[in-house]
Amino acid sequence: MEVFVTFLLNLIYISATLALIALGLAMVFGLLGVMNMAHGEFVMLGAYSVYVVQLAGQHFLWAIPVAIVICVMVGWLMEWLVVRHLYSRPFDTLLATWGVAILIRKGVEVIFTRDYKSVNQVMPGTIDLLGVSYPAYRLLLVALIIVLFVALFTWYQKSKAGLKIRAMVQGPELAAAVGIDTARLSRLTFIIGVSTAGLAGVLLAPLVRVEPYIGLDYLMSSFFILIVGGLGTLEGLLIGSTVIGGTDAIVSTVFDKTAGYMSVLLISILFLWLRPDGIFYRR
C-alpha cells in the first residue's frame, strides 16, 4: 500500500512538472506555429535566477519576479529580432530559434562558467500523506502547478485577451479586419509562453542540477510530451505528460534510468509512426 501511494505521488509529481515544462512550448507552437528550440533555455534562465537571487542573499521567492523580468526581456527581444519575421514558416523558426538557443547557452556559460551551481533547498522536510512521508516541497510544487494551470486556462477561456488570441489563431486576417493588432497579440502570446518556461525553471531549480546545458533535456522531454499528447489542447498536454512521466517512472523503478529514457524514446517513435497527431489533436 505504502509503495503504491509513494508511486502514485511520484507519478503525479513527475507528470505535473513535465506538464509545466511543456506548457510554454505547447502554447507557442499550438497558437503561433513557432517551434521554439530555445524553450529549454528559458527554463535554464529561470533556474539561474534562483541561483543569482540566493547568491545575493535574498529569499527564494524573489527569483519568481526576477525570472519573469528576464524572460519577458529576452523573449521580447527574441520575438522582435527573429521570430516575428518567421511566423507561418515553421521550419525556418526551428533553425533560427536553435541559433538563439546556442546564443543564450553560450552567454550564460560566459557569465557563470560551465560548473554546476547548487541551489539551496527552500522547504526541507516531509509531510505525512496517506501514511507515507513525502517531500514537502514536491507537494507544494504540485499544488502551485495546478493553480497555475487553472488560472491560465481560465484566463484563456474567459478573458478578452484570451478571446482575441483564439480569434487570431483561427482567422488572423479576419482578426486584423476587426481591428485586432495581431502582431502585438502574437508577441504577448510568445512572451507568456517563454515566461511559463522561466517560472518552471525557478520552481524546479531546488530539485535539479543548474548548469548552462540543462535546457536541452527539457526541450527533449517537452517534445516527447507534445508528440504523444498532440498539439493545441490542454487535455493532450496533461495526457502526454502522464504517459511520458508514467513510463519513465515505472521503467526507471523496475530497471534503471537509462532504460526509462529509452522507453520514453521508444514510445515517442511509436507515436510518430502510428499516430502522428497524438492522442488529442485539434482539427
Partner 1 sequence: MDRTILEVQNLSGGYGDLIIVRNISLSVYNGNTVSITGRNGVGKTTLMRLISGSLPLTSGKVNFLGNSIAEVPEHKRFNLGMSYAPQERIVFDNLSVKDNLTLHYLETDLDRYSNLFENFPRLRERLGQRAGTLSGGEKKLLSFTRAIAEPSNLVLLDEPTEGVQSDNIELMAQVICSQKSQGRGFLVVDQNLTFLESITDTIHLLDHGEQVYKTDNKRFRGEIETRISI
Residue with cell 507561418: 88
- Candidates 5-13, 174-182, 211-219, 263-271: pick the segment binding partner 1 (CB under 8 A): 174-182
CA dihedral of residues 171, 197, 256, 116 (deg, nearest 10): 150
Among 102, 174, 259, 269, binds partner 1 (CB under 8 A): 174
Cell numbers for 203: 520552481
179 binds partner 1 (CB under 8 A): yes
Element (H, E) at 129: strand 126-129
For partner 1, the closer CB: 236 or 245: 236
CB nearer partner 1, residue 85 or residue 166: 166
- Choosing from 61, 130, 151, 176, the residue that interacts with partner 1 (CB under 8 A) is 176
Residue 126-165 contact track with partner 1, rule CB under 8 A, x = bound: ----------------------------------x--xx-
Q: Does 69 bind partner 1 (CB under 8 A)?
A: no
- How many other CB atoms sit within 10 Å of the CB of residue 231? 20
Candidates 171, 235, 275, 276: give the one binding partner 1 (CB under 8 A).
171
For 77, counting Cβ atoms within 10 Å of its Cβ (0-12 exposed, 13-18 middle, 19+ buried), the class is exposed
What is the helix (H) or strand (E) element at residue 128, kind and residue range?
Answer: strand 126-129
- The answer to whether residue 167 forms part of the interface with partner 1 (CB under 8 A) is yes
Query: Coil, strand or helix: which one is 230?
Result: coil
Q: Which is nearer to partner 1, 133 or 154 (CB)?
A: 154
Contact region for partner 1 (CB under 8 A) — 42-50, 126-134, 172-180, 206-214?
172-180
**Ramachandran angles phi, psi of 133, nearest 5°:** -100, 125
Contact 187, 76 (CB under 8 A): yes
Shortest Å distance, C-beta 88 to partner 1: 14
The DSSP code sequence of 37-69 is TTHHHHHHHHHHHHHHHHHTT--GGGHHHHHHH
Using the rule CB under 8 A, which residue among 56, 125, 131, 173 binds partner 1? Answer: 173
Distance of CA 111 to the CA centre of its chain: 24
Q: Which of residues 181-240 bind partner 1 (CB under 8 A)?
A: 181-183
Q: Which residues bind partner 1 (CB under 8 A)?
A: 160, 163-164, 166-167, 170-171, 173-183
